[in-house]
Amino acid sequence: MKAVLLNLSAWTMLPIMDGFAKFLSFYLPVIQIVWARYFFTVVIVLPVMFIYFRNKIKLTKKPKLQFLRGILLFSANILFFYSISIISLSKALTLAFIAPLIVTSFSPFFLKEKVGISRWVAVIFGFLGCLIVIRPGFLETNMATFAALGTGLMYGFYIIVTRKLSTSDNSLLTLLFTGIVGAIIASCIVPFSWVTPTYNQWFILILIGLFASIGHLFLIMSLKLADASKLAPFGYFEIIPNIIIGYYFFGDLPDFYHFIGLIIIILSGVYIFRKQFYI
């Protein structure tokens, strides 16, 4: 039960971070918000890791894969923060939920996993759910919509690379390496579009890093108490605080078709998960 509570707490912290990011996107460039997410996360997490987990941090055995993982997550963050600057939090997250479908589609090629007919059918239904949310030809499709889908694509490949690393590097090293890669890349880009934040905006930028740190810390703690295979479905809980924050602070409420598409995508993802780990 403690593992579940920690996991659900993590998926509550991260939407709060997204809400702060969407608010700041009205005033600051997206890359500056992404930079803050990485920079302040590293500033907060790095001392904690060296104080409490120093003995568990070792040199990576696969530096190229670690770097690739960092780039993929950085790309996913850029795309997601851009998408929520234009479309609703719930729509962006719903479309990003295609990540498990991406993992299933490409796992035969990169992970040499066998994907049965039933899982392919679930993937097809999941993408149909995306079409219901987007409704091309009925609603205007903008770059933010494609960015949200790109988030799911990047995150799907990020999961694939994470699986390949799980056999060689420990999770703490992977978390630290990914944060440092993102912070370095963002720090090289952000000077070209820097806008000096106000004191209140600086405070919110720090909060973005803080909530990202707390969220990932809760995830790590939950994974120490229970298997990832048992906790994975709880990731979909993220949509609930996401919808609440989007409605309360930004006046965005998913319509009927959005909810239908969301349910289809979630059911497809949960089915794929169950077939993968239990059959």
- Reply yes or no on whether the pLDDT at 82 is more than 90: yes
- Reply yes or no on whether the pLDDT at 24 is more than 90: yes
- Decide if 76 is inside a domain: yes
Among 135, 33, 155, residue whose Cα is nearest residue 85 = 33
Per-residue pLDDT at 172: 66
Per-residue pLDDT at 163: 75
Query: How many domains is the chain built from?
Result: 1
Distance from C-alpha of 266 to C-alpha of 39, rounded to nearest angstrom: 32
* Separation in Å, CA 168 to CA 62, 87, 176, 230, 276: 8, 39, 15, 22, 22
- Decide if 73 is inside a domain: yes
Domain extent at residue 163: 30-210+252-278
- Decide if 217 is inside a domain: no
Per-residue pLDDT at 38: 93
Per-residue pLDDT at 139: 59
What confidence tens digit (pLDDT) does each residue in 209-242 have?
A: 999 888 877 877 776 677 665 666 778 888 899 9
- Decide if 200 is inside a domain: yes
Mean pLDDT of the chain: 84
- Decide if 229 is inside a domain: no
- Enumerate residues 6+ apart whose C-beta is below 8 A from 181: 66, 67, 69, 70, 71, 74
Whole-prediction pTM value? 0.89
- Reply yes or no on whether the pLDDT at 132 is more than 60: yes
- Decide if 7 is inside a domain: no
Fill in the amino acid letter for 41: T
- Region 52-77 average pLDDT: 80
Interior/surface letters 153-183, b for 16+ CB within 10 angstroms, e for the rest: bbbbbbbbbbebbeeebebbbbbbbbbbbbb
Per-residue pLDDT at 77: 93
| Of 214 and 53, the one with more pLDDT | 214
Per-residue pLDDT at 153: 93
- Decide if 243 is inside a domain: no
φ, ψ of residue 139 to 5 degrees: the values are -120, 155
What confidence tens digit (pLDDT) does each residue in 89-114 have?
A: 999 999 998 888 888 888 787 767 77
| Three-state SS at 167 | coil
- For the chain, percent of residues with pLDDT exceeding 90: 41
- Decide if 247 is inside a domain: no
